[in-house]
Amino acid sequence: MDSKRINEILAVAESAAFAAAEWTGRGKKDLADAAAVEAMRKQFDTIDFSGRIVIGEGERDEAPMLYIGEEVGRGGEEIDIAVDPLEGTNLCAYAQPNALATIAFAPRGSLLYAPDTYMWKIAAGPKAKDAIDIDASHTENVNNVAAALGKPVDELVVCILERDRHIALIDEVRAAGARVRLITDGDVFGAVATSIEHSGIDLYMGAGGAPEGVLAATAMKCVGGGFQGRFNFRNEEEIKRATKTSGVDIDGVLTLDDLVRTDDAVFIAAGVTDGELVKGVHGGRVHSVIFDGSTKTIRFVETIHRGAADGMWTIS
C-alpha cells in the first residue's frame, strides 16, 4: 500500500479513537463503541477508494454501520477492510489500559471472512515464529518459545484473557514455570504485543473472537511474526456461516497465509486509553502504530490536532 493510502486510513483510526475517548471512564461501553463506529464510517467515506468490510460489527441485520459486506469510500482502488472500531469497549468505559481503534486492510480478496465465533489462537514475535504449534501442549509451546528467545522459562511472559475457559491453560503455563499476564479484554493487543520489543509479552495463547484473530494476524504477517488459529464453533449456525464464507478448512489449523493472503497488508491501531502498545488520546493528541507489510516495518506516529483552522501535524 502506498503512503498516501496508509495516511488516509490512519486518519480513519484516529477519528474513531478521538470519538471513543470522549466516553472514557463514563461506564457506557455501547455508547463509546457507537461513537467510534460512526466516526470511522464517516471518515471512510472521504477516501477515494472502494473498500469492502470483511470483518466488522456483525452481519447486515445485526449492525447499522460497518457490517460485513458493506461498501465504503467514494470509489477507486478495491481493498478489503477489517475493523474493530473500539477494541476493548469495557477498557474504554472503565478507563483501563489498552483500548484501541483498529483497522487492517489489504488488496481485495486478501483477508479472510472470519465468522463471528471463537478462535483458539497462539502468537509469538518474529524470533519465535517457528517455535509455536497450536496442536502442541501448552507446556511444549512455553518451553519452545523460551528456547527460541534465548531466555529462561521463568522469565517468559504469556498473555492470556482472564476467562473461566482458560483456567486449565493458566494453571499449565504457571506449572511450566512461565509468568502469566492476564488481561480482561482486548486480545488483539495481547497477540500483537508479542512482536513489539519491550512490550513485556513474549507469547499469547487462548480463545477469543475469530474476527479479532484476523486483525491480529494481519499485524503479525506484516512484521514476520507467528500466528496460528483454529475455529471453536458454538452452534450449527456458526458452522454453516463459516462453511459458506470463509473458504478454508474450518476444522483445520489456520496459518497466517490462510488468514492474510498477501504481504501487501497494513494494520493500524490508534490508542484510546494509555497502554503498552501506544498511549491514549490526550487533548488533541493521538498516538498510533502502523504495521506495514510492504516494508516489514512498525512505525509509531503521534498526531496533534489543533482544529480545522490550525491544521494537523504528524510527528513519527
What pLDDT shows up at residue 239? 85
Q: pLDDT below 70 — which residues of the chain?
A: 61, 307-316
Q: pTM for the complete prediction?
A: 0.93
Alpha-carbon span 215 to 43, nearest angstrom: 20
Helix-helix angle 138-149:167-175, to 10 degrees:
50
Instruction: Give the residue extent of every domain in the chain.
Output: 3-111+264-315, 118-259
Q: Which of 208, 190, 184 is nearest to 276 (CA)?
A: 190
Alpha-carbon span 145 to 127, nearest angstrom: 9
CATH class label, 118-259? alpha beta
Residues in the chain, overall count = 316
What pLDDT shows up at residue 248? 82
What pLDDT shows up at residue 308? 40
What pLDDT shows up at residue 153? 98
3-111+264-315 and 118-259: same fold? no
DSSP 258-276: HHB--S--EEEEEESS--S
Q: Are strands 312-315 and 297-305 parallel, antiparallel or unpaired?
A: antiparallel
Q: How distant is the alpha carbon of residue 293 from its chain centre?
A: 15
What pLDDT shows up at residue 310? 45
What pLDDT shows up at residue 137? 98
DSSP for residue 22? T
Alpha helices of 89-137 — where are they, by DSSP H?
Answer: 89-93
| Domain covering 3-111+264-315 assigned CATH 3.30.70.420 in the classification | no
pLDDT digits (tens, 9 = 90+) for 266-305: 999 999 999 999 999 998 999 999 999 999 999 999 999 8
What pLDDT shows up at residue 218? 97
